[in-house]
Amino acid sequence: MTTGNQSFSIDDFAKALEAHNYDLQKGQIVTGRVFEYDSNGAYIEIKGGKSPGFLPMSEISFTAGDNLSEILPLGEEQEFLIIRDQNSDGQVLLSLRKLQVEKAWDNLSEIAENSESLQVVVTGVNRGGVTVDADCLRGFIPRSHLLVRDNLEALVGETITVTVLEFNRDREKLVLSQRMASQSVSFSQLQVGQLVEGTVGSIKPFGVFIELEGVTGLIHIKEVSQKYVGSLPDIFTIGQTVKALVISLEEGRQRVSLSTRLLENYPGEIVDKFPEVMDSAEARAERARKLLTA
């Protein structure tokens, strides 16, 4: 490269770049390596930076007593978050903790968007439910969204699977559900034509809700019998064990539709001989599956 009578080589250009004082700003993620430990933290050589950054002990780890040389080996390159702009000496303040939090929120957003589950550790109990550690984020599970709602203290220290119920990054709000995660797993194990067994949870004028393993199914009144049914309480009682066929699955709403109608040998058999139909449900289901898949 030539300007007038002077030549400007590639080496000159590289040296000019090296001499440039990069404008490092708060909120920026930079790459660097530890070159010196200090009683209050560590000094970081920032890639592309003119002055070293400083990483305070309080910004290194979430766990007190962690071995500094294991978390930050000398010379090992890793990322840091700038949490304070350059001072008069050009030095910035860095954090590993806050970078971990930012990445945890990014990961959580993706999990929530894809309706995936994650594992958390129960850390405490309050009146409304339990608090948890979700990859360094503090979350909350309402009592109504726990599988076990009594003796919550026994859950402390346990690792459980949950899904995201609600989150707000700006307010650092994270609400999770163990019950919905369990339902998702249970729902994924169901298939049309499968014979399932559960208990009557509630009886409505339009049908009967059956509590299965982690998910609720509905036997619509038209799917109870091939014969007209006028009164569901005449056939079903709360807590009663019922076997039924899965006839449809609506994944988006996790809706499970069931039928005892298809188990009948003749219209009204479920009304007249409910115990007999239940006792031979497995054999009847084989015949009914052929009707469903025909």
Residue spans in the chain of domains classed CATH 2.40.50.140: 2-95, 115-183, 190-293
Mean pLDDT computed over 253-279 = 93
Confidence band of 63 (pLDDT split at 50, 70, 90): low
Instruction: For residues 130 and 153, give the distance between their C-alpha atoms in angstroms, rounded to a whole number.
Output: 9
User: 245 pairs with which residues across the strands?
Assistant: 195, 259
User: 198 pairs with which residues across the strands?
Assistant: 242
Of 84-88, 119-123, 134-138, the least confident: 84-88
Instruction: For residues 42 and 60, give the distance between their C-alpha atoms in angstroms, rounded to a whole number.
Output: 9
Helix ranges restricted to H, 190-273: 269-272
Helix ranges restricted to H, the chain: 10-19, 68-71, 97-113, 178-188, 269-272, 274-279, 281-293
Greatest CA separation for the chain = 108
Confidence band of 24 (pLDDT split at 50, 70, 90): confident
Of 47-56, 116-125, 222-231, the least confident: 47-56
Cβ atoms of 49 and 30 closer than 8 Å: yes
* Matching CATH number, 190-293, of 3.20.20.70, 2.40.50.140, 1.10.1040.10, 3.40.50.360: 2.40.50.140
If you count them, how many residues does the chain have? 294
pLDDT reported for residue 66: 61
> Does the pLDDT of residue 25 top 90, yes or no?
no
More confident residue, 67 or 71: 71
Our CA dihedral for 99, 101, 102, 107, rounded to 10 degrees, sits at 120
More confident residue, 70 or 4: 70
Task: Report residue 225 CA to chain centroid gap.
Answer: 40
Of 192-196, 269-273, 286-290, the least confident: 286-290
Instruction: Indicate the SS3 state at residue 141.
Output: strand
pLDDT reported for residue 255: 85
Confidence band of 21 (pLDDT split at 50, 70, 90): very low
CATH architecture of 2-95: Beta Barrel (2.40)
pLDDT reported for residue 38: 85
User: 36 pairs with which residues across the strands?
Assistant: 43
Confidence band of 189 (pLDDT split at 50, 70, 90): confident
Instruction: For residues 221 and 225, give the distance between their C-alpha atoms in angstroms, rounded to a whole number.
Output: 8
Percent of the chain past pLDDT 70, that is, above it, reads 88
Q: Each residue of 173-182: b (16+ CB within 10 Å) or e?
A: ebbbbbbbbb
pLDDT reported for residue 68: 76
Instruction: For residues 92 and 81, give the distance between their C-alpha atoms in angstroms, rounded to a whole number.
Output: 10
In the numeric block, the tokens 């979430």 are attached to 62
Cβ atoms of 108 and 164 closer than 8 Å: yes
Of 6-10, 41-45, 136-140, 142-146, the least confident: 6-10
Mean pLDDT computed over 246-253 = 82
Of 60-64, 102-106, 172-176, the least confident: 60-64
pLDDT reported for residue 51: 81
pLDDT digits (tens, 9 = 90+) for 86-117: 787 778 899 999 999 999 999 999 998 888 88
Question: What are the CA-CA distances from residue 113 to residues 106, 168, 185, 273 (Å)?
Answer: 11, 13, 17, 48
Of 76-80, 137-141, 180-184, 255-259, the least confident: 180-184
pLDDT reported for residue 252: 65
> Does the pLDDT of residue 8 top 70, yes or no?
no
* Domain 115-183: assigned CATH number: 2.40.50.140
